[in-house]
A and B are shown apart, each in its own frame.
Chain A
Amino acid sequence: MQLLNTLYVTTADTYLRLDNDTLRVEVEQETRLRVPLHHLSAVVCFGHTGLSAPLMHRLAEGGIALVLLDDNGRFKARLEGAVTGNVLLRQAQFGRVADPAFTLDMARACVAGKIKNTRQVLQRGAREAKSEDEAQVLTRLADDLAASLRALTEATSLDVLRGIEGEAARQYFIGLNLLVRPESRAVFQMDGRTRRPPRDRFNAMLSFLYSMWMNDCRSALEAAGLDPQVGFLHALRPGRAALALDLMEEFRPWADRLALTLINRGQLTADDFVLREGGGVLLEPDARKAVVVAYQERKRDEINHPLLAQSVPLGLVPLVQARLMARALRDDGAPYVPFVAK
């Protein structure tokens, strides 16, 4: 498995075309970048980006995902080639959704992965906290998450499970505020998770990073031959990539951690956001680019995968996890094990 690159086009009024089996990016008819297609696994375009039909054909043919997002990183469209993968695997997947016991176990695994990873974020925060009081609060919140993890094992229905997840998330987001360095707290204060639109700067950044992860999780599932819409924790709904949302849960804390890094290193400041009428907060175009660059760099970090017992770039972990999901769906007695960093 190789971590292929993703091209992100965030500059307005760019045009992408196919030129001699390379992708050429033009801004005002001037070539800015040429990338041979064999380096790419996806092309992600923000807002007003034009692209030629021959390029679209070539991307579909080469199995390179083309994703169109609006200026804020919200998903608009995706170009996909012919349905590929193993039909027997998909059939097994559909069968599993009808099995309540399996659905519950799978959903439990996803929530457990998320809570374990969020707990690590808080524990690390507690270790690095500057003041004794804050360390105590963070440790207490981390202990609460441990209690949620214990409660998970006894949850007998999806609704109970979702309730535990919601409560754990609420606690965790209280703790997240304390991980912002004191000087930045006035600017990056969050009062719980808000979206559509995000109502503060922290939430704006999280929404943006989550949509980046979401795209990668969806592509990973498709690469493993699974149907991204048929999920377990998230209810089936037309147009909703439920399985991609399930897979993404365990990666949310990674996005949160990256957001904290960007804030605490001062890479993003108050001026990098626009406050819209009606209370919505959005990232400025340059800041968006900085976040994408940071995200791409983070994906190259080598992470020790406990189950594989080897080091993998973080960007490949969704692919590994998608294959583990496929295995759990196909084989009896092979439970899905979410990715929890050591």
Chain B
Amino acid sequence: MLVLVCYDVSTETRAGRRRLRRVAKVCESTGQRVQKSVFECQLDVAQFEALERELLAEIDAQQDCLRLYRIPGTRGFEVLEHGAFKAVDFDGPLVL
């Protein structure tokens, strides 16, 4: 399934900026950045739970907010892409 990860991490303090970096790192290791704090991850259920656990370990529930959207496959019509950014399809041919 496709998982959309969005977050707002409070960067008022140094600790906040550190959390932001670490949350981004976790997301980068599982999916791709499609907007500044939005990631798309193609995961199975086990990987999704691992991701959620890792993210919860990084954020501060008092100050930050994290949203995970689980989008089941609907024959490739999950995402409509417009504008300058083109995401990589990790299921398509990866040839460089």
Contacts and interface: CB of A to CB of B under 8 A. Distances in A.
Interface of A: 2, 5-11, 14, 20-22, 25, 27, 32-36, 38-40, 289, 292-293, 296-297, 300
B28 A5 contact: no
A246 to B, nearest CB: 28
14 contacts: A2-B44, A7-B94, A8-B93, A22-B29, A27-B96, A33-B94, A34-B32, A35-B88, A35-B94, A36-B29, A38-B30, A38-B47, A289-B95, A292-B95
Contacts, number: 60
Given A5-B91, A39-B90, A14 B96 contact: yes
Contact of A20 (B28, B44, B94): B28
Given A20-B25, A20-B28, A22-B29, A36 B90 contact: yes
Nearest to A34: B32
B91 A22 contact: no
Interface string B42-61: 11100100000000000000
A38 B47 CA distance: 9
Nearest to A299: B93
Contacts of A14: 96
Contact of A5 (B31, B44, B90): B90
A36 B42 CA distance: 10
Contacts of B31: 36
B28 A9 contact: no
A296 B96 contact: no
Given A20-B25, A22-B28, A33 B93 contact: no
